[in-house]
């Protein structure tokens, strides 16, 4: 028994650390057992979601055949997870074993996985570069989206189920800001996909903080909006290294979220350089992007962070934020609707508009017994996920793509768009009052110009607070340049005409867009 346990432990170390000559593989199968009763396999909430959105069960919903798994397991060193969406099995095996597995009559193809890891920097940092008090930050992360309207009218995400995929939820069960979730049994399931065990509420505080930005509250202290939602918690991420297999943990967790009835997936995770090249951010290359697309096909609204590489050489978003049919969330500054410097930006490599929305990326989050100041698109994302849950609670009849479209339309910039903020910060007034509510009475007055310059003047602005957004497009509508400027006086904002020949300048202020052709 001791020798057997030692051998099993050695295999685990080999698989995790690469001590042997083996490797990680995906084994794709050619058929499934369709005799499984999917109405027993899936949670009733998942079935209700499918029926409401007219999404019938298909072959991808059936689990991988157990006899296929057993036959492969008899040959491979170890197995990890099966994936019903891919009809595949993740294994660790040597080259000789893989040659034998390939000969099995039900094996369609075999794919080697690159599992090389790298050290990552933690997004959490208590030393903020942005100078606002904790009270100002806490208030603005809700009020910038008009979230008080949801609170006042009792829209808090009741009846909505949210899956949170993260690196761990250290002391979430001890937090004073999440106590209501545990007391009211709103945490329905919590699973660690790395350890194949129930979550032990350790490993990382990141997940606890993101969860608080969805549903955290203590008395009158509101961190997130969806305090009445139900939750599925999934650990899919290591804390200090970033190996490829995290993407497969994410995929398995997304399948699990689908099975147990998630309406929304909130994921503050992303993968980019050095694992991927910029050309891979095309919405179809990475495994995690494919998983996000599968989840969207099953009727789930996926909300994912754009990433924090906007001020690095990479700049653009990371997978799965490149996926179509999801909400990718960029980061905004506190107390001004401007992009925060580090937010990952669009477009995708194939030219699609990203991100869809944005929210404050400089926030107050759960510190177990007190608030903690953190920043990153990791925290903008759950703010939007909680907002989305409130909207879905209001309109449970909406399909995920309808919800996605309405959320984009609620953005404070819509239909204007830029690659940092997307359509802007979602506004609760769009859903509660039927219109977006703008604080300023200001408007674009007139346009002044000469042979060299064009000047856009705003009347009645809130000096030092209001923002004029602008973008320059080529003749085909592609964005060449974009930006925003805080209105510091009643003087016009000037643009150089020489630079704009053959192009279109669009400006947006306070709900009004103007276009100028040159």
What range defines the domain where residue 71 resides?
2-45+54-113
CATH of the domain at 465: 2.60.40.10
Same domain flag for 199 and 312: yes
What's the whole-number mean pLDDT along residues 98-126? 72
Q: What total of structural domains would you count in the chain?
A: 3
Same domain flag for 228 and 322: yes
pLDDT tens-digit series, residues 453-468? 888 888 888 898 899 9
Q: What is residue 123's predicted lDDT score, i.e. its pLDDT?
A: 39
Closest-CA residue to 120 (of 249, 271, 291): 271
For residue 476, CA distances in Å to 268, 269, 270 come to 34, 33, 31
Evaluate whether residue 120 is within a structural domain: no
Same domain flag for 101 and 154: no
Same domain flag for 183 and 263: yes
Residue where one domain finishes, among candidates 113, 142, 158: 113
Is-contact 410 404, C-beta < 8 A? no
What's the whole-number mean pLDDT along residues 70-88? 97
Residue where one domain finishes, among candidates 83, 113, 143: 113
Same domain flag for 144 and 220: yes
Is-contact 220 135, C-beta < 8 A? no
Q: What is residue 21's predicted lDDT score, i.e. its pLDDT?
A: 66
Evaluate whether residue 203 is within a structural domain: yes
Same domain flag for 23 and 166: no
Round the average pLDDT of the chain to a whole number and report it: 90
Cα 404–Cα 407–Cα 409 angle in degrees, nearest 5: 110
> SS3 for 89?
strand
CATH of the domain at 100: 3.30.70.80
Same domain flag for 149 and 274: yes
pTM exceeds cut of 0.95:
no
Give the range among 29-38, 224-233, 368-377, 494-503 with minimum mean pLDDT. 494-503
Same domain flag for 62 and 197: no
Evaluate whether residue 126 is within a structural domain: no
Same domain flag for 148 and 258: yes
In angstroms, how far is CA 305 from the centroid of its own chain?
4
> SS3 for 507?
strand
Q: Please identify which residue in the block is written with the tokens 């390939």.
A: 102
Same domain flag for 275 and 351: yes
pLDDT at 152 over 90: yes
pLDDT band at 115 (very low <50, low <70, confident <90, very high): low
Same domain flag for 287 and 365: yes
pLDDT tens-digit series, residues 184-231? 999 999 999 999 999 999 999 999 999 999 999 999 999 999 999 999
What's the whole-number mean pLDDT along residues 84-98? 96
Same domain flag for 179 and 285: yes
What's the whole-number mean pLDDT along residues 137-163? 97
């Amino acid at each position: 028994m001791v020798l057997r346990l030692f051998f099993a432990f050695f295999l685990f170390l080999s698989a995790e650390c690469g001590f042997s000559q083996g490797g990680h593989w995906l084994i794709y199968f050619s058929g499934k057992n369709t005799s499984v009763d999917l109405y027993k396999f899936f949670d009733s909430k998942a079935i209700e979601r499918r029926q409401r959105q007219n999404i019938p069960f298909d072959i991808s919903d059936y689990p991988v055949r157990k006899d296929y798994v057993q036959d492969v397991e008899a040959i491979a060193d170890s197995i990890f997870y099966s994936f019903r969406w891919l009809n595949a099995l993740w294994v660790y095996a040597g080259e000789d074993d893989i040659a034998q597995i390939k000969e099995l009559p039900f094996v369609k193809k075999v794919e080697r996985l690159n599992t090389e890891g790298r050290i990552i920097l933690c997004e959490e940092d208590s030393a903020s570069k942005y100078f606002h008090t904790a009270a100002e930050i806490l208030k603005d992360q809700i009020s910038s989206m008009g979230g008080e309207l949801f609170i006042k009218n009792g829209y808090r995400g009741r009846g909505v189920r949210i899956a949170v995929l993260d690196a761990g939820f250290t002391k979430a069960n001890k937090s004073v800001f999440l106590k209501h979730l545990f007391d009211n049994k709103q945490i329905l399931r919590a699973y660690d996909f790395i350890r194949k065990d129930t979550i032990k509420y350790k490993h990382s505080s990141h997940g606890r903080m993101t969860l608080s930005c969805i549903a955290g509250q203590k008395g009158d202290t509101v961190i997130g909006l969806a305090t009445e939602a139900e939750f599925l918690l999934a650990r899919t991420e290591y804390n200090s290294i970033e190996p490829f297999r995290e993407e497969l943990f994410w995929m398995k967790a997304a399948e699990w979220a689908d099975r147990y009835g998630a309406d929304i997936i909130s994921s503050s995770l992303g993968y980019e350089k050095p694992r991927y090249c910029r050309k891979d951010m095309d919405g179809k290359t990475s495994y995690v992007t494919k998983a996000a697309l599968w989840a969207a096909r099953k009727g789930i609204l996926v909300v994912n962070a754009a990433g924090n590489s906007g001020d690095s050489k990479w700049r653009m978003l990371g997978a799965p934020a490149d996926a179509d049919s999801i909400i990718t969330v960029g980061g905004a500054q506190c107390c001004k609707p401007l992009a925060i410097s580090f937010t990952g930006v669009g477009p995708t490599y194939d030219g699609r508009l990203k991100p869809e929305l944005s929210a404050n990326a400089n926030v107050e989050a759960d510190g177990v017994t007190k608030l903690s100041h953190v920043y990153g698109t990791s925290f903008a994302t759950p703010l939007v996920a909680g907002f989305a849950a409130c909207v879905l609670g209001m309109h449970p009849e909406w399909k995920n793509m309808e919800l996605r479209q309405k959320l984009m339309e609620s953005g404070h910039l819509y239909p204007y768009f830029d690659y940092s903020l997307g359509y802007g910060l979602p506004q609760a007034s769009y859903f509660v009052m039927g219109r977006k509510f703008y604080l300023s009475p200001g408007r674009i007055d007139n346009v002044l110009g000469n042979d060299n310059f064009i000047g856009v003047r705003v009347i009645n602005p809130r000096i030092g607070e209001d923002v004029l957004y602008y973008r320059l497009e080529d003749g085909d509508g592609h964005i060449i340049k974009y930006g925003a400027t805080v209105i510091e006086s009643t003087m016009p904002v000037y643009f150089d005409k020489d630079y704009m020949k053959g192009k279109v300048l669009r400006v947006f202020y306070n709900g009004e867009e103007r276009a100028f052709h040159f």
